[in-house]
Amino acid sequence: MRFIVLALLFVLSPAYAVGPEATYATHGMVTSRSVYASQAGIEIMKAGGNAVDGAVATAFALAVTYPDAGNLGGGGFAVIRLPNGKVVTNDNREKAPESATTDMYLDKDGNVIKGLSLNTIKASGVPGSVDGYLEMLDKYGTMTRQQVMAPAIRLARDGFPLSHDMALQIAYFLPKMKRFPASYKKFTKNGEPYQEGDIFKQPDLAQTLERISKQGRDGFYKGKTAKLIARFMANNDGLITEKDLADYHSVWRAPIHGTYRGYDIWSMGPPSSGGVLVAMILNMLEPYDLGSLGWHSAAAIHLIVEAERRAYADRATYLGDPDFYKVPLKALLDKAYAKKRFADVKPDKATPSKDVGAGSWPKESMETTHFSVADDKGGIVSMTTTLNSSFGNKIVVPGTGMLLNNEMNDFSIKPNTPNQFGLIGHDANKVEASKRMLSSMSPTIVTKDGKPFLAVGSPGGGTIITTVLQVITNVIDYHMDISDAVSLPRFHHQWEPDLVMYSPYAFSPDTAKILESMGYNLKEIQWGRGIGDANSIEYRDGAIYGVKDPRNEGGAIGF
Ligand code: DON
């Protein structure tokens, strides 16, 4: 009898319950970094909206309830699977202002001016999110702007109770906001830090959202909002003008399509490097049976790191805004190229990364945010959005309630000079007027035989790509369910600096010893809550399972 019970447990797909129980749904699912934002998406889908309506509602709500990264003043990417199986992508990445120049972050001797591309008003690219959300809604949504924006407006106007985590986040960044009066005003109660449970109201932001709700893109890119932004820029030595704003448009681009062991991988193309690198790394790994090598065995880690090393080295040279630089996509995504690129990997020795100057690991806390939405018609939205650093450049534009991004730091501001994630680049990603800076954001959808299988993505700068990769290989090669695949500890390598960084518990001491004997430099990370925050969805056993990454708060809500 006992065996029959045990056997029954194995009828369903394996879920080894390392991670928390995934949320089950049959009609709709939203998993995001903020429970209020997930609720906003669900409210809209319950009222009859599809995944795109739900995603746009979630995105606007994140700008209110997760101001670290949710935004109106930043940019991002959405990968959307339509119910007919077609996959489209929206690029709402920020652009350099028209007056930007290649040397704008260097002094007269050609040295980088510390912090200029990161902590100042000059760090901001022209925001793209609002145009992206509205384009998505216009093209593939079914509900009105007023309907999908209502939850965000309500949350901004009436406020919401701050969680312990949100109160801590705001308190942590307050000292950096002190020099910007509108930021300090917005994020304090008359100068006093907010506490857990306080109702956080954002009246200026509510009005900005109202203007967008009433006037569409003109409520942001023209008229009062645009004037507030441009005037503030002009008065403070910033670069963004009313013309920059009026000229901004998100772009619909073809998705990156790769295959891996019979699965189809759909992800974001340039100006993100994310989809290209995920596909390249999977191509290099495909000839090897990772599954039989064992999860996080030294042999498997070796193969994965060597593939990452080669892909990130190509990133530095070949990837940039495709409207400015001819990215050799076809060559990079070719499986034959992957084979050739991997040919010099030695079975038992780490290949030292080429010596191109030392990078450095990020020290400041960073935030981007990924959310995944699914409906019951096969519609899926996998979307990552960001201000770059936590709370962007920490500058709220007076009168708008809106934070500015510091995305200009994602350009290669000088050849071989690491950005805040230690990533380096050259000409392909140099600063140019009206160009989009290279990203690592990798919102991804995986399908099998034309049917939905996974939606995955993450924040984490350069670690986004390797986080997405690990969730995919955990499911496909190690047969984990989505909860385990997302929850288990991760590691990361990005060519330069030549280090393998790993979360506590990711490598056993004897595995670490083997890797070190093969020539690897290992570094256990001591900061933050681990690598990535991959709020993901899996289709399994006829249902939709959502998981919020247990590293951070948030909500996977279904119905
Ligand atoms: O676009 C990029 O790749 C970066 N600006 C993303 C920043 C990020 O993920 C920070 N969050 N953890």
Q: How confident is the model over 100-151, as pLDDT tens digits?
A: 999 999 999 999 999 999 999 999 999 999 999 999 999 999 999 999 999 9
CA separation for the pair 226, 218 (Å, rounded): 9
Rounded alpha-carbon distances, angstroms, from residue 222 to 241, 243, 245, 250, 299: 11, 9, 7, 15, 56
pLDDT, mean over the chain? 94
Which atom of ligand 1 is found nearest the CA of 459?
9
CA separation for the pair 94, 250 (Å, rounded): 9
Q: Is 461 in the pocket of ligand 1 (CB under 6 A)?
A: yes
Strands 500-502 and 522-524: parallel
Which atom of ligand 1 is found nearest the CA of 437?
1
User: Looking at residue 13, what is its pLDDT?
Assistant: 59
Query: Is pLDDT of 14 > 90?
Result: no
Structural domains in the chain (count)? 1
Give me the DSSP letters along 480-514. --HHHHHHS--EE--SSS--EEE-TTSS-HHHHHH
Domain annotation covers residue 123:
yes
Closest CA to 90 of 76, 69, 70: 76
Candidates 31, 208, 368, 473; catalytic one: 368
Of 93, 361, 421, the one to substitute when testing ligand 1's pocket (max ligand atoms within 8 A of C-beta) is 421
- Expressed in angstroms and rounded, the spacing between residue 519 Cα and the centre of ligand 1 is 29
CA separation for the pair 136, 378 (Å, rounded): 17
Host domain of residue 409 = 35-252+390-429
Domain annotation covers residue 357:
no
Q: Which of 51-60, 226-235, 416-425 has the lowest mean pLDDT?
A: 416-425
Beta strands in 52-111 (DSSP E): 75-81, 87-91
Q: Is 54 in the pocket of ligand 1 (CB under 6 A)?
A: no
Query: 383-411: per-residue pLDDT in tens?
Result: 999 999 999 999 999 999 999 999 999 99
Domain annotation covers residue 43:
yes
Query: Is pLDDT of 6 > 60?
Result: no
Domain annotation covers residue 102:
yes
For the chain, state the CA radius of gyration: 22
DSSP code for 131: H
Does residue 417 have an active-site annotation?
A: no
Domain annotation covers residue 210:
yes
Domain annotation covers residue 60:
yes
Domain annotation covers residue 306:
no
Of 95, 321, 366, the one to substitute when testing ligand 1's pocket (max ligand atoms within 8 A of C-beta) is 366
pTM of the model: 0.94
Domain annotation covers residue 353:
no
CA separation for the pair 536, 485 (Å, rounded): 10
Query: 506-547: per-residue pLDDT in tens?
Result: 999 999 999 999 999 999 987 667 899 999 999 999 999 999
CA separation for the pair 28, 30 (Å, rounded): 7
